[in-house]
Amino acid sequence: MASPIVESVVSLLTMIGVGTYCARKKIITPEISRGLVQILIEISLPCMIFSSFMFSYDPGIKDNVFKAFYYSLAAYMVTIVISNLLVYPLPKKRRQVLHFANVFSNTGYVGFPILSAVYGTEGVIYGSIFNVFFVILVWTYGITLYRGTANRSSVTAELRTVLLNPSIAAVAAGLVMMFLGIQLPSPILVGIRNLGSMTGPLSMLITGTILAQVRLGDHIRDWTIYYGAITKLVIIPLIIYTCTLLLGRSSLVLNSVIIMTAMPASTMTSIFAERFAVEAEYAAVIVSVTTLLSLISVTGLLKLLP
C-alpha cells in the first residue's frame, strides 16, 4: 500500500503548488477563489458524496454504514475531551483557535480525496458519515466556541443552515438510494461522477491559494503553532488509533474515521476566526501549517494502519 499512498500525497502536493503559483500570479484572484469554493461545496463535493453510494453492495457494507455513525460520533467526543485538556494551558483566544482546529478537520478539501485515493468509493461513504457530524457540530458547537455564547434565534438559524447543507442532502439522498436499491440511468450517473471527480483538484487548488496568502515567516518563532500542529496531526489521531487497538477492533470503517480525524485543520478555523475577530491571522497560519505538515503525518499514519 505504500506506493499508492506516496503517489496520492505527492499528487496532492503538486496540485497545492499549482494553486499557490496561480494565486501569486493573480491567475486565481480572491474573487475566483471564492467562486471555486462555492463550486466545491455546492456542486462537486455533494456529487462525489452522492455518487459514492451508487455501486453494488454486499450486506457488510450496509452494516458498516451504521457502524460509521457511532464510530464517528465516538471519535468526535474523544477528540473534544482530549483537545480541551491539551489546549487548556494556552491563552484564551489561542486556546479557542487551536481547540476548534483540533476538533474540525479538513474533511472536504483533503479528507475525501485521500479516502478516495486509498480506499475508493467505500472509504468515501464512511467519510461521508463522518462529515455529517462535522457539518452538524461546526454550525452548533464550533460557532459557539468562537462566539462564546449561544442564543435561541442564532441556534435555530444555524440548524437550518445544517439541514440545507448540500453535503448533508447528498448523504441523505445517497442513503435512500442505497437502502431502496434504486439505480440512476447510466448517463446521469456518469455525469454526476464526473462532476464529483473535480473535488480533489479543486480542493487542492483552493488550499494552495490559502497558503499563498499567509506570511508564515512572521510566525516561525511562535511555539504554539508547532504545539498545535503536533496536537492536531499526531497526538489526537494516535490516541484514537490506540483506543481502537485497546478495543481489539480494526476495519476499513475505523481506518476511514481515524484518517478523517488526522486531516489538517478545517478552513472554517480561519473563516470563523475572521468572522468573530478571534486571532484571524493566527488561525490562517494554523490552517496553512497543518495542511503542509499533514503531507508527512498522514503518509506515516496510512503506513501504520492495518
What pLDDT score was predicted for residue 28? 92
108-142 pLDDT tens trace: 777 888 888 888 888 888 888 898 888 778 877 88
Do 265 and 290 meet the contact criterion of CB atoms below 8 Å apart? Answer: yes
DSSP state of 77: H
Q: Please, where are the H alpha helices in 25-141?
A: 30-39, 45-52, 59-87, 92-103, 112-137
Q: What is the pLDDT of residue 236?
A: 95
pLDDT one-digit tens code per residue, 167-221: 778 888 888 887 787 888 889 989 998 998 888 788 778 878 877 877 767 777 8
- Can you tell me which residue has the cell 448540500? 166
Q: Considering its fold, how many domains does the chain have in total?
A: 1
Give the pLDDT mean for 258-265. 92
Cβ–Cβ under 8 Å, residues 166 and 41: yes
Q: At what angle do helices 59-87 and 252-261 cross, to 10 degrees?
A: 30
Q: What's residue 153's pLDDT?
A: 60
Q: What is the mean pLDDT of residues 237-257?
A: 87
pTM above 0.85, yes or no: no
Query: Are the CB atoms for 50 and 174 separated by under 8 Å?
Result: yes
Number of residues written out for the chain: 306
Task: Burial-class residue 181 by CB neighbours within 10 Å (0-12, 13-18, 19+).
Answer: exposed
C-alpha grid cell, residue 71: 464510530
Q: Which residues of 184-193 are buried (b: 16+ CB within 10 A; e: fewer)?
A: eeeeeeeebb
Percent of the chain with pLDDT over 70: 90
Q: In sequence order, what are the residues at sequence separation of 6 or more whose Cβ sits closer than 8 angstroms to the Cβ of residue 126?
A: 64, 65, 68, 115, 252, 253, 256, 257
| pLDDT greater than 80 at residue 59 | no
- Spell out where 99-218 has E strands: none
Q: What CATH number does the domain containing 300 carry?
A: 1.20.1530.20
Name the residue range of residue 191's domain. Answer: 2-304
DSSP bridge pairs for 16? none
Q: Around Cβ 156, how many Cβ atoms within 10 Å?
A: 10
| Mean pLDDT across the chain | 83
Higher local confidence (pLDDT), 280 or 29? 29
Q: The C-alpha cell of 138 is what?
A: 461546526
Q: Running DSSP on this structure, what letter comes out for residue 172? A: H
